[in-house]
Amino acid sequence: MYEYMEKYIRFIKSKSLSKNTIEAYSNDLEKFFSFLNDREEQFNEVDEILIMSYVQQLIKEGIANSSINRNLVTLRNFYKFLLQKHLIIESPMINYELPKIKRDLPEILTIEEIDVLLNLPDIGTYKGVRDRAMLELMYATGIKVTELLNLRIFDVNLNMEYMVCKGSKEKERIIPLGSVAIRYVREYLDLRKTISNSESLLLFLNSRGNKMSRQGFWKIVKSYAKEAGIDKDINLYTFRHSFAVHLLQNGADIKSVQELLGHVDISTTEIYYSITKKNKLIEVYKKSHPRA
């Protein structure tokens, strides 16, 4: 990932910025990449939760608000550069306001919204069965999009009800599978044998029998979200966020959620508690206030 940082530094040097400014931007990115390396994360798979975790670390280190603000500006501009170069699909950056460092928690889908969205694919078609299997698997396991698209057929053991997920740095984790996800993945595999001529071992393929891109999957999710009439900012991480919050809301312990998500540092997982608490307060208010 450092090659992209170098490209960005060359880019800002062409903007005739001062030597001190360029050095500050470079140091900010070095610090952020070190944070990602410690957590075995990739720069192009960063989501809002990881940005929040990074800011929390800066705060714990006693970094001044002005320096945190500059760090966020650096990251915002860096990801804007990646977007312009078509190296990522969307930016993970959240707007923070200083001196109070406002944290806008990412939106998650309710269980009802998840149900509506997952029921949209037309399972009378090959594409519909494939889409349903992908979405069910995403919500059932909380895996990242890249992890989903890199799954191989033999990574999923439907009889034993688990799958092997290979994350960053080829680190593997075993994730249990729910009955609904198993049902649709099995239906998809049965169809895949009869329809797809591809010799690829990848579990999910695009319409041409090749590996699906992140952008291709993003378009699928956006399309179903629009059809469902869900007025929320849905992105590639929405299913992952919803998976984590729904588990915590239903009594799962945070250590188990950390292992399922593959977080190296539990402080990243703990951010989901903020979302859970926020949703709980809203629910209590709506049920209790006479004018809610």
Active-site residue, from 263, 273, 285, 291: 263
Q: What's the confidence (pLDDT) of residue 106?
A: 76
pLDDT digits (tens, 9 = 90+) for 32-62: 999 999 998 888 888 888 998 999 899 889 8
Q: What is the pLDDT of residue 246?
A: 93
Tokens encoding 24 = 């500050």
User: Is 263 labeled as catalytic in the residue annotation?
Assistant: yes
Percent of the chain scored above 90 by pLDDT?
50
DSSP letter string over 64-97? -HHHHHHHHHHHHHHHHHHHHTTS-SS-------
According to the model, what pLDDT value does residue 42 have? 87
pLDDT at residue number 1:
67
Contacts of 191 (CB under 8 A, 6+ apart): 126, 129, 130
Q: Considering only CA atoms, which of 37, 32, 52 is closest in space to residue 271?
A: 52
Nearest to 51 by CA among 31, 29, 67, 72: 72
98 Cβ neighbours under 8 A, 6+ residues apart = 65, 66, 68, 69
- Residue 272 annotated as catalytic: yes
Return d(Cα 185, Cα 173) in angstroms, integer: 19
The pLDDT assigned to 99 comes to 43
- The reported pLDDT for the residue numbered 289 is 58
Instruction: Please report the domains of the chain, with CATH numbers, ordered by start residue.
Output: 2-84 (1.10.150.130), 111-286 (1.10.443.10)
The whole-number pLDDT of residue 244 equals: 93
pLDDT along the chain (292 residues), means of 10: 84 83 90 92 88 90 84 90 87 61 72 95 95 96 94 95 85 93 96 82 91 92 93 89 92 92 88 73 58 53
> Annotated catalytic residue: which of 192, 240, 241, 246?
240
